[in-house]
Amino acid sequence: MPVGVLYAVVAYSVYSGGDAIIKGFGQSLSVFEIGFFIAIFGLIPAAFAKPKGERWRDSFRLKHPALVHLRSFTGVSSSILVTVSFTTIPFAETYSLVFMMPLFITVMSVFILKERVDFLRWSMLALGFVGVMLVVRPGFRELEFGHLTALLCAVFGASTTTILRIIAPTEKRVSLIALPAFYLIVVNAILMAPTFVMPTPQQFGLLAASGSLVGMGHILLIAATRNAPASQVAPIQYVQIVWAIGLGAFFYFEYPDLLVYIGLAVVVLSGLVNVFVDGARARVAGRFAEYRGRPDNPAGNITEIRGPEI
């Protein structure tokens, strides 16, 4: 197993552990208080992820300030929304709705980034949507507020990713790390103030553990993307569904029925097909570029090869 893939397995597993701890708080603390302390403790391991050659004091020197701040706002929103979902609805259902994010990212890439999306990808995204409907089954049972917040989390998460794709090439990485953390701490601190309850020593320890796990997951995911292609790292995120089923059953006595298992399998299948198709296109593009760069290939032969639509 490539070391980058191993890093990804550990990263997404660690993220699931942090999410499971969040779920355990239920309604004992406000979602803003949970978010505040997790952001604080998440900074401890994340501080080691500072890129070489960049300084934290340069975090506010921005080339696209409006987009950077908008990306930080959408990141805070998705974090708060998913915390609501974790504390109110079953683990597996939260993940299934959050994994609708690729659908929204694709829609935004078409309308905002003007990218072209082929029929296969639309088909797989539609299949993933069907899988989510099998899990949630709207119209056949009463949906809770947590289902809505999980769906909105996917929308805001997709917005965060779309904006990041625009600003990442030009903004400093310290800005992309520090500003979202700053927003998380300040926004949650303001919103938690009216209903603040001092955590018990046990709750404080759990908040520290969850925040540290989130921060560790961030570092491990960075290490994964540095040591393996995105096409190998991306499918590993679906290990979170396995953890959601296992941790939900073991700690919270959540036992999905057969339709939920089928729906989750459909979500994973559609996501994996999308990722592997992208990986195949990336390999074709790489080979095409290598072929085009060879001086011994006549120009006439190159025109016979078509690279992927990007």
Residue 278: CB partners within 8 Å, gap ≥ 6? 230, 231, 234
- Taking residues 143-170, report their average pLDDT: 92
- The answer to whether residue 22 sits within a structural domain is yes
| Residue that has been written with the tokens 């829609």 in this structure | 107
Strand partners, 204: none
- The answer to whether residue 181 sits within a structural domain is yes
Residues spanned by the domain of 278: 3-302
pLDDT band at 298 (very low <50, low <70, confident <90, very high): very low
Query: Hey, what are 104's tokens?
Result: 């929204």
pLDDT band at 261 (very low <50, low <70, confident <90, very high): very high
| Residue that has been written with the tokens 């409006």 in this structure | 66
- The answer to whether residue 310 sits within a structural domain is no
pLDDT above 90: percentage of residues in the chain = 47
Distance CA 305, CA 246 (A): 47
For residue 267, the one-letter residue type is: V
Q: Angle 278-279-284 (CA atoms, 0-180°, nearest 5)?
A: 95
Give pLDDT tens digits for 60-77.
Answer: 889 999 999 999 999 999
Q: SS3 of 201, please?
A: helix
- The answer to whether residue 62 sits within a structural domain is yes
Q: Is the pLDDT of residue 299 over 70?
A: no
Mean pLDDT across the chain: 84
Query: Hey, what are 223's tokens?
Result: 């290490």
Q: What is residue 142's DSSP assignment?
A: -
- The answer to whether residue 309 sits within a structural domain is no
Q: SS3 of 141, please?
A: strand
User: Could you please report the per-residue DSSP string of 39-94?
Assistant: HHHHHHHHGGGPPTT--GGGTT--SSHHHHHHHHHHHHHHHHHHHHHHTTS-HHHH
- The answer to whether residue 268 sits within a structural domain is yes
Strand partners, 239: none
At 282 the pLDDT is 55
Are the beta carbons of 45 and 223 closer than 8 angstroms?
no
Q: What predicted TM-score, i.e. pTM, was given to this entire model?
A: 0.82
Total domain count for the chain? 1
Lowest pLDDT segment from 117-126, 196-205, 244-253, 273-282: 273-282
| Nearest one of 288, 290, 293, 287 to 304, comparing CA atoms | 288
pLDDT above 70: percentage of residues in the chain = 85
Distance CA 175, CA 163 (A): 14
- Taking residues 266-287, report their average pLDDT: 69
Residue 172: CB partners within 8 Å, gap ≥ 6? 51, 54, 58, 59, 61
